[in-house]
């Protein structure tokens, strides 16, 4: 129902279908979670080998079949930022997103506020985040195909993320 394809080298729109219609991003929200984490690492505020502890409350909410895709983290487990980022990107780990958010900002809601700040700075005018992982939240989290393309471009153009990944 929605699509947006742009040539990154020329900026030419190759295909658009209802590209500005608001949609729930589901796991595509994790693109911004990764963007925020990479930005903080690039700034030197965190290191890839830094460990975060899985809070029992986080584990309780984000384990089992009702939690969607997970990294299968355990309560009290210490997990590196590198492993959490791999869990977000390869497993679409809902639990990994929340542990990363809580580890970096103390609470998921504080991390989500930073996600929304970045969305505004990037010009994502039809995007708002209510969770770090895109879990359904009664319409608080939404985006558009055009905004997702802008975020993808910004992530690809972010200086230093490739070096960060190579070190992990």
Q: Which residues are identified as catalytic?
A: 27, 30, 92
Burial (CB count <10 Å: 0-12, 13-18, 19+), residue 10 = exposed
Q: Record the tokens describing residue 110, joined without a space.
A: 């504080």
The full DSSP string for 147-158 is HHHHHHHHHHH-
3-state helix, strand, coil in the chain (%, to 5): 50, 10, 40
Backbone torsions φ then ψ of 104, nearest 5 degrees: -80, -35
First to last CA, the chain: 38
Cβ-proximal residues to 38 (8 Å cutoff; 6+ apart), any chain: 155, 158, 160, 161, 164
Q: Record the tokens describing residue 117, joined without a space.
A: 């700040």
Residue 143 CA, chain-centre distance (Å), reads 13
């Amino acid at each position: 129902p929605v699509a947006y394809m742009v040539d990154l080298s020329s900026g030419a729109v190759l295909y658009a279908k209802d590209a500005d219609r608001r949609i729930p991003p589901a796991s595509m929200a994790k693109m911004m979670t990764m963007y925020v984490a990479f930005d903080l690492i690039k700034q030197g505020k965190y290191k890839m080998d830094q460990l975060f502890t899985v809070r029992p409350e986080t584990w309780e909410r984000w384990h089992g079949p009702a939690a969607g895709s997970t990294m299968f983290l355990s309560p009290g487990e210490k997990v590196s930022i590198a492993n959490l980022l791999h869990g977000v990107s390869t497993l679409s780990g809902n639990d990994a997103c929340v542990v990363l958010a809580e580890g970096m900002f103390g609470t998921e809601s504080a991390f989500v506020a930073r996600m929304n700040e970045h969305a505004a700075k990037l010009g994502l005018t039809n995007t708002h985040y209510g969770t770090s992982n895109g879990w359904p939240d009664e319409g608080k989290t939404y985006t558009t195909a055009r905004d997702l393309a802008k975020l993808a471009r910004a992530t690809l153009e972010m200086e230093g993320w490739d070096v960060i990944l190579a070190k992990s």
